[in-house]
Chains A and B, each alone.
Chain A
Amino acid sequence: MTAEIIVVTSGKGGVGKTTTSASLATGLAIAGKKVAVIDFDVGLRNLDLIMGCERRVVYDFVNVVHGEATLKQALIKDKRHENLYVLAASQTRDKDALTQEGVEKVLDGMSEDGFDYVVCDSPAGIEKGAHLAMYFADHAVVVVNPEVSSVRDSDRILGLLASKTRRAERGDGAIKQHLLLTRYNPARVANGDMLSVKDVEEILGIDVVGVIPESEQVLAASNSGVPVILDAESPAGQAYSDTVARILGEERPLRFTDVAKKGFFQRVFGG
């Protein structure tokens, strides 16, 4: 059996790749899949913090690539879901520590171990780490903020996904691209201060797979090392649940993209 490989990427930093990787992997695990999530950001390990397993990292991705540890030794089992595992990035090695052959070997090992999904958390930029994170992917989640530099960078990434990946090189059929709009603020969109879902879809020429509203709970979740998808009360958590369901093929309408309707007095007097 072959694991489906999903890269979470964006080009620009700070748009929510790691937050998305953590919630996507957790959501897939909740759906009953066996999932591993890998941090490709060698030298700037962070996924472990967002997943809340930072004190349990013994071996990392680079150790496995170099044969210094087995996959079994390096995979950290999630505390909350028994079919979810984290593979941390190395904190000390430089970016050249990863090779294409090494990454392929690890991904093949995961397929042999019966994983259904491998989520690859890409580093920012378009250098080696980002390239390796996307190279073997079957699906790509491109995380974008409604902001000019992020939109432009994600267009660049969409171009790379269509040309610099194994699927593209082999002509195996295109990577399935999913656009995920994060940090969305419907009130600012209504005011004309922020690009809308439709604007972003039009500029990039692809539909969104989900819209994650800007939400205080995202910071609260990373503060406590619990992926925000597990906060079922929060709009961001619910929006991530919807997104995972859509990636698994379910149809769900977009939520949290409109401002709540104003009352009569608000409409007359403004505010």
Chain B
Amino acid sequence: MGILDFLKRKPEPTATVAKERLRIIVAQERSTRGAPDYLPMMRNELLEVIKKYVHVDIEAININVERDSGHEVLELSVALPDGKPAATPAT
């Protein structure tokens, strides 16, 4: 980099942006990797059940499979709409 380069203000290098975006998406995709194929279907059916009692959107339901030294934990969380009790993670 020479003297002339100091006069130009550089935006954030695109490689840094790429790295940050990849870090997030890769972590997200890894968290659902190897999860059973029935998860999306189960999520839909659970939504139907939950809808009988509270009005929530499908995006409010999160299902994750966590692997932890030899055992797997299926984690289901439902974010309840405003005015209702706070989101309750149930395992």
Contact = CB atoms under 8 A, between A and B. Distances in A.
Do A and B originate from a single complex?
yes
Interface of A: 147-148, 151-152, 155-156, 159, 163, 189, 191-196, 199, 202-204, 266-271
Interface residues of B, dominant DSSP: helix
A269 B15 contact: no
A194 B19 CA distance: 10
Contact of A270 (B1, B26, B29, B30): B1
Nearest to B22: A203
Given A151-B22, A269-B2, A199 B15 contact: yes
B2 A270 contact: yes
B25 interface: yes
A193 B26 contact: no
Interface of B: 1-5, 13-16, 18-19, 21-23, 25-26, 29-30, 33-34
Interface residues of A, dominant DSSP: helix
Nearest to B26: A155
Contact of B2 (A191, A204, A268): A268
Nearest to A198: B19
A163 B30 CA distance: 13
Contacts of A151: 22, 26
22 contacts: A147-B18, A148-B18, A151-B22, A152-B22, A152-B29, A159-B30, A159-B34, A163-B34, A192-B13, A192-B15, A193-B15, A195-B18, A196-B15, A199-B19, A203-B22, A203-B23, A204-B26, A267-B1, A268-B2, A268-B3, A270-B4, A270-B5
A196 B13 CA distance: 12
The 9 closest A-B pairs by CB, nearest first: A192-B13, A270-B2, A159-B33, A269-B2, A199-B19, A203-B22, A155-B26, A192-B15, A270-B4
A11 to B, nearest CB: 12
A237 B17 CA distance: 31
Contact of B14 (A155, A156, A193, A204): A193
Nearest to B25: A152
Contacts of A266: 2
Nearest to B16: A192
B54 to A, nearest CB: 35
A195 B16 CA distance: 8
B37 to A, nearest CB: 12
A268 B5 CA distance: 10
A268 B1 CA distance: 7
A269 B13 CA distance: 21
B19 A203 contact: yes
Contacts of B22: 148, 151-152, 195, 203
